[in-house]
Chains A and B, each alone.
Chain A
Amino acid sequence: MISAQEVLLTLRPLHVWVGPTGHVRQVGKSFAKLGLDDPTGHRFLEVFEIQRPTKPSNMTDLRCLAGQVLRLRVRSEPELGLRGLVIEDKADGAILDLSLGMAVIDAVQRYGLTAQDFAPSDLVMELLFLQEAKSSAMAASFSLNARLNGARLAAETEAVTDGLTGLYNRRGLDGAMARLGQSDTEYAILQMDLDRFKQVNDTLGHGVGDAVLKRVAGILRAHTRQDDLIVRAGGDEFVIVCPGLTDAVRLNALAGVLIRDISEPVVIEGHDLAIGASIGIAVSEATARRDTMNTITCADIALYAAKRSGRGQHLFWLPDMGSSLVDLELPVPRSQGA
């Protein structure tokens, strides 16, 4: 018949046998791996600290815990939590069968454990397998999420961007106006049309027309602030939204410099071009601020008025211009003279 010592040494790599005096008689082979000098002959409670369910201070206390699940740690390796069962050996001693529990994953890394350090019946290899497999699968999943998110951001940006000029498109304008409408920020809208653009496009072709639009976009970018929203609303129609800028002097200067730069004669693909621009300006506090569409309409009305008073002009919206395009006398069709 195999002795109890042998059974334990063969089957239980993490057991501790404590003699009646409270000294360690025998330990499983894996303890050597846990950074522990051979505890055989040392007082058990000096090497191990039992934390739960109660803290025994002598052999009698320890034997009283028989049949209960213990949580304990090695005093020299306090981060290493162990759990296990203690039983009486019927010779005034006690036997503890221990396991690393979830700490096994860290312990494997820390102490370089191998498959032989665990009982073959132990599911620890399955646990480690699962840990590695899960990490690989999670990595693949994170990578997919990152790529999908990148694609989503690109699609969102594309959805609000004008492909030709890289400015915002009308959808981008709508989104920005909705956000402005919900904030307390005052703002100005500059509504701008190019003069003589249609002729360029019709007679010299779209290639030249596109180059003109890109040049205009560049001018708008150069003269606006970081927070300003520049929109190509369609064709040769541009909108600039300036949050926090309502000062008439500065807006005057901005509109003036935009018209001046756009109107500079330029040679594109060998053609001498003289494009111009007209601008209508509306300021949120002068119109009904909460009604952002109304501010845009007012800027539009001011633009019509500017065009009617001769090209290359900019005008602020004034209450006597009305607040509806229908109110305008002799409206100038948008395409005419553009």
Chain B
Amino acid sequence: MHGLIFRTLEAFISDTFSPENWTDVVVRANLPVNSFEAMLQYDADYFPQLLSAAGHVLDRPESVILEDIGTYLITHQNHASVRRLMRFGGETFSELLHSLDDLPGRTRMAVSGLDLPQVEVRQPTNGNFTILCRGNPSGFGHVLVGLLRAMADDYGTLALLEHRGQRDWAEVIEVTVVETAFADDRGFSLTEFAIAEDA
């Protein structure tokens, strides 16, 4: 499994909580690794172990942790590039949702070897989207919920997002776009290319 995934978990816990909390998580997970490198590969089994340990140490459900990671990736200044790369998906939040089918492909294009679940977007009625995530890492749907919630804020769009659990081996997310000009759009310019990247 790609080191970026582990590195993100580590950075999230260290930045949002404390480096001591991260140490507790690693000790509790009983892994032979203390710190993860973004550009190395690690055993995929480590991830559920770390997540379970994080649930204990931070005293909250794993789904909540995953969702917060999604929000953290978009809002934390160390990951400004993630927000920018997401904004390449579309001019509006709805366009972004329509572009999510491309998310795993775009991600692979950005970082080869970083495999995300297959994403399928359906829009049964105007303003209501259903997003299906199939494949590993499981729980990615929760990350996507947090990530999209933060992106809706970024576009100034009022949207309701909910993880509906599993259906037919797919994580199901429902999105309702309520109002597109709810708040100010944070804006996106191709020229403000920031290389602020946590490493």
Contacts and interface: CB of A to CB of B under 8 A. Distances in A.
A57 interface: no
A337 to B, nearest CB: 49
B12 to A, nearest CB: 16
Contacts of A112: 189-191
A42 to B, nearest CB: 28
A139 interface: yes
A307 B110 CA distance: 70
Nearest to A125: B88
A128 B88 contact: yes
Given A108-B190, A113-B190, A140 B110 contact: no
Interface centre among B91, B106, B190 (most CB of A within 10 A): B190
A147 B40 CA distance: 13
Interface string A111-138: 0111100000000011011101111110
Contacts, number: 66
Nearest to A135: B195
A129 B109 contact: yes
A136 B191 contact: no
Interface of chain A, main secondary structure:
helix
A107 B192 CA distance: 13
B193 A137 contact: no
A139 B199 contact: yes
B110 A143 contact: no
Given A133-B109, A133-B111, A141 B39 contact: yes
Interface in B105-121: 106, 109-111
A141 B39 CA distance: 6
Interface residues of B, number: 21
Nearest to A131: B193
B199 A114 contact: no
A308 B182 CA distance: 94
Contacts of B191: 108-109, 112-113
A133 B189 contact: no
Interface in B86-115: 88, 91, 106, 109-111
A22 to B, nearest CB: 34
Contacts of A328: none
Contacts of B106: 129, 133
Interface of B: 4, 37-40, 81, 84-85, 88, 91, 106, 109-111, 189-191, 193, 195, 197, 199
24 contacts: A109-B191, A109-B193, A112-B190, A112-B191, A113-B191, A115-B91, A129-B109, A129-B110, A132-B85, A133-B81, A135-B193, A136-B110, A136-B197, A137-B39, A137-B110, A139-B199, A140-B38, A140-B39, A140-B197, A140-B199, A143-B38, A143-B199, A144-B38, A147-B37
